[in-house]
Amino acid sequence: METKKAIISVKDLVKKYDDFVAVQGLSFEVYEHEIFGLLGPNGAGKTTTLEIIETLRAKTSGDIIVDGFSVDKHAQNIKQIIGVQLQAAGYYPNLNLVELIELFAGLYGADIKPMEMLEKVNLQDKAKAKYKALSGGQKQRFSIATTLINQPKIIFLDEPTTGLDPQARRNLWDLIIEIRNAGTTVVITTHYMDEAEQLCDRVAFVERGQIIALDTPDNLIDKLVSSGFERKKEVKKANLEDVFINLTGREWRE
Ligand SMILES: Nc1ncnc2c1ncn2[C@@H]1O[C@H](COP(=O)(O)OP(=O)(O)OP(=O)(O)O)[C@@H](O)[C@H]1O
């Protein structure tokens, strides 16, 4: 069997906000070239965990190694090999997409061609548009393009498909899979279980700052079924989303 190499290793991570323990001793590994999902209810500690790995937030204790670099000693090296989605507020309102990419490339010292970055996320037709004039799906694709500017080994996507319509979500899944297939490791959070099932190679369920399950979606489902679980209703061969997609097509729109 193929041996998997960990590109992120989190050991006994604890994060306290004053007396409140938001992350309570998390340990997990993310393998190279996988799409790894962090799932769990609101407030479970997913964003806190991601921000600590991204070196954007201080931890209380624990050890984190990202591609051989420790968050304690080599935060700068980690920043150079990761891509993080910026919040919309970080985009200057008067610049168009090409100018924004040029700006970020300048900050990273990255030698890239803005149009090539926009082509990767199918936004070449919007090169001269301002960020605020984009649809929800286009905004998400643009922000994914910005994570790729420094040609990172790992990108972090925090709920990238929230609020998107079914086509835009599926198109974004295809884009994320392409990025993984091109060799980038992807760490993603989502509240959509169908998305995690389709997209993630492995998922960790986080609850109250602890990991309560970690495996491939298939193994987790098989385990539940073998424990005697059965759905109450017979499952239909399609769902309402399939009807929507079938009626309105899968092509890019917006
Ligand atoms: N700066 C902060 N100060 C105090 N408490 C915080 C801070 N940031 C987060 N928390 C608390 O830590 C807990 C974990 O928050 P976090 O944002 O990591 O959860 P999450 O799993 O990402 O949730 P969501 O799914 O809603 O994004 C929550 O109870 C939150 O209120």
78 C-alpha to ligand 1 centroid (Å): 23
Kindly state if the Cβ of 244 falls inside 6 Å of ligand 1.
no
Kindly state if the Cβ of 226 falls inside 6 Å of ligand 1.
no
CATH topology for the 6-90+152-248 domain: Rossmann fold (3.40.50)
Say how far apart CA 85 and CA 81 lie, in whole Å.
14
7 C-alpha to ligand 1 centroid (Å): 25
196 C-alpha to ligand 1 centroid (Å): 21
Of 17, 50, 53, best ligand 1 pocket probe by most atoms within 8 Å of the beta carbon: 17
For residue 212, report the phi and psi dihedrals to the nearest 5 degrees: -105, -10
44 C-alpha to ligand 1 centroid (Å): 7
Q: Supply the residue whose CA is at minimum distance from atom 28 of ligand 1.
A: 43
Q: Supply the residue whose CA is at minimum distance from atom 11 of ligand 1.
A: 22
Kindly state if the Cβ of 50 falls inside 6 Å of ligand 1.
no
Question: Domain-by-domain residue ranges, the chain?
Answer: 6-90+152-248
pLDDT digits (tens, 9 = 90+) for 227-251: 888 877 777 788 877 887 788 776 6
Q: Supply the residue whose CA is at minimum distance from atom 16 of ligand 1.
A: 45
pLDDT digits (tens, 9 = 90+) for 56-109: 999 999 999 999 999 999 999 999 999 998 766 567 778 899 999 999 898 888
Considering the entire predicted model, what is its pTM? 0.90
70 C-alpha to ligand 1 centroid (Å): 24
22 C-alpha to ligand 1 centroid (Å): 7
pLDDT digits (tens, 9 = 90+) for 1-21: 567 899 999 999 999 999 999
pLDDT of residue 251: 66
Kindly state if the Cβ of 15 falls inside 6 Å of ligand 1.
no
pLDDT at 148 over 60: yes
pLDDT at 225 over 90: no
